[in-house]
Amino acid sequence: MLNLFNQFLWAFVDVKRVLNLPFDERTAWLIATVMLLLILASTAGKLLDGSSEQRLNTAIVRSFNQRIRSWWLMSAVLIAGLFIGEQGTVVLFGLIGFWALREFITMTPTRRSDHRTLFWVLVVFTPLQFFLVAIQGELFLIAIPIYASLFIPARIALANDAKRFLERSAKIQIGLLICVYALSFAPAILYLNLGSTTQSNVEIDAPAANEAVQKTPWSHVQDSDGHDINRNKGLLFFFVLITQLNDVLQYAWGKLLGKNIIAPRINTSRTWEGVIGGVATSALLGALFSWVTPFLFWQAAIMAIVISVMGFAGGMTMSAIKRDRGVKDYGTLVQGHAGILDRIDSLCFAAPVFYHLTKIFFTI
C-alpha cells in the first residue's frame, strides 16, 4: 500500500513537470496527497456502506459518505481554480459567494420592497467585491463594510416601507458581510507578497538577533522554463484543506469522545471534546503540511489553531441562524447533504483572520 502511495505521488509530480502545470512542485505534492486520501476515503466509505447494519451506525456512515462527496466537489473547484490562474480562482470564489448569498437570502424572508436592494447586493456589490480583489485594489477592504453598509439601509428607506426596517436591513447586511465580503479574503491570499523567515547560523548576541532574522522572497519562483509560478496557490490550498479537515475532525472527535455539548439549543453535535480534539489534530496537520507554506512548522501549527477556532465560530454562528429560521440546511449543494453555505461557513469566518495574520507577519 505504501509503495502504491509513493508511485501515485511521484506519477502526479512527473505529470506536473511534463505538462508544465501552473503551480510549484510543493503544491503538486499536496494536491496529489489530497486526491489519494479522497480515493482511499471513498473506497472505505463504499466498504462501510456495504457492511452489516448491526456492526455500524448507518447514519454515521451515510454522513461520512456525504461529506466525502462534498469534499470531492470542493477539491475539484479549488484545483480548477489553481489551473486557470489567479483571476480564474477569484471568479470561482465569486460564483461561490453569489450562490451562498442567494441561499442566505432565500432562507431569510424579505418584503417586495426589498427586491431592488437585493438586486444591487447580488448583481452589483457581489461581483464588484471580487473584481476589486482581482485588480489588487485596497478598496476591497472597505467597499462592503462601509459603502455597501450605508447604501443598503438608505435604499430600503427609499422603498417607502418602514415595517421591520432594522431587521430587514440587518439581515441583508449580515448576509453580504459573511457570504461575500469575508469569503473574498480567501482568493485575496493569492496576491500577497510573502517572505519566508530564515535565520543565520552565525552565532550572534541578543541585540543583533533581530538583524539576523530575515525574510526571503517566497511567493513567486520561476520554473525551469523561466515561467513565473505563484506559490500562494499552495498556501490557499493549505488554508482550505485545514479548514475543511477541521470540520471533519471536530465531527469525528465529537462522535468518539463527545459528552459535553457546548450549546444544545444551537447545535447538538458540537461538543467541547470534539472542538479540542479537532483543534489539536488540525495543529498537528498544519505543522505536517508546513512545507507548502512560508511558515515554520510551529507557525503553521499556530495558524492551523487560529483557522480551527474561527471555523468553529463560523459553524456555530451559521447554526444559530438556521435554528432562528427553523431550517436544517441552507440548500442542496450535494444530494442529501446541505447547501454550499453549510460547506463554507468555516471558510467565511477563518479567511479574513488568516489573511490579515499572514499579511501582518509574513509580507515583505
Q: Give the cell for residue 162.
A: 418602514
Strand 195-199 relative to strand 213-217: parallel, antiparallel, unpaired?
antiparallel
Q: What's the pLDDT at 55?
A: 57
The answer to the question of residue 164 being in a domain is yes
Dihedral sign (CA 187, 220, 80, 345) = negative
The answer to the question of residue 35 being in a domain is yes
Q: Give the cell for residue 120.
A: 444591487
Beta strand ranges found along the chain (DSSP E): 195-199, 213-217, 220-222, 228-230, 261-263, 267-271
Q: What's the pLDDT at 142?
A: 95
Report the distance separating Cα 313 and Cα 347, nearest Å.
Answer: 10
Q: What's the pLDDT at 329?
A: 62
Q: What's the pLDDT at 314?
A: 94
Are the CB atoms for 347 and 246 separated by under 8 Å? no
CA distances from 306 to 10, 19, 67, 288, 300 (A): 32, 36, 23, 16, 10
The answer to the question of residue 273 being in a domain is yes
Q: How many CA atoms lie within 13 A of 41 on its CB side?
A: 20
List of the chain residues with pLDDT < 50: 2, 5, 8-10, 12, 15-16, 18-19, 52, 199-204, 207-212, 333-337
Q: Give per-residue pLDDT as tens, 62-117.
A: 777 777 777 777 788 778 877 778 888 999 999 999 999 999 998 877 888 889 99
Report the distance separating Cα 342 and Cα 315, nearest Å.
Answer: 8
The answer to the question of residue 206 being in a domain is no
The answer to the question of residue 138 being in a domain is yes
Report the distance separating Cα 302 and Cα 8, nearest Å.
Answer: 31
Buried b (16+ CB within 10 A) or exposed e, 32-64: bbbbeebeebeeebeebeeeeeeeeeeeebebb
Report the distance separating Cα 219 and Cα 135, nearest Å.
Answer: 18
How many independent structural domains does the chain possess? 1
The answer to the question of residue 265 being in a domain is yes
DSSP 62-128: HHHHHHHHHHHHHHHHHHHHHHHHHHHHHHHHHHHHHHHHHHHHHHS---GGGHHHHHIIIIIIHHH
The answer to the question of residue 37 being in a domain is yes
Are the CB atoms for 347 and 183 separated by under 8 Å? yes
Residues counted in the chain: 364
**Residue 181 structural domain:** 2-46+59-197+213-362
Q: What's the pLDDT at 10?
A: 47
pTM summary value: 0.85
The answer to the question of residue 107 being in a domain is yes
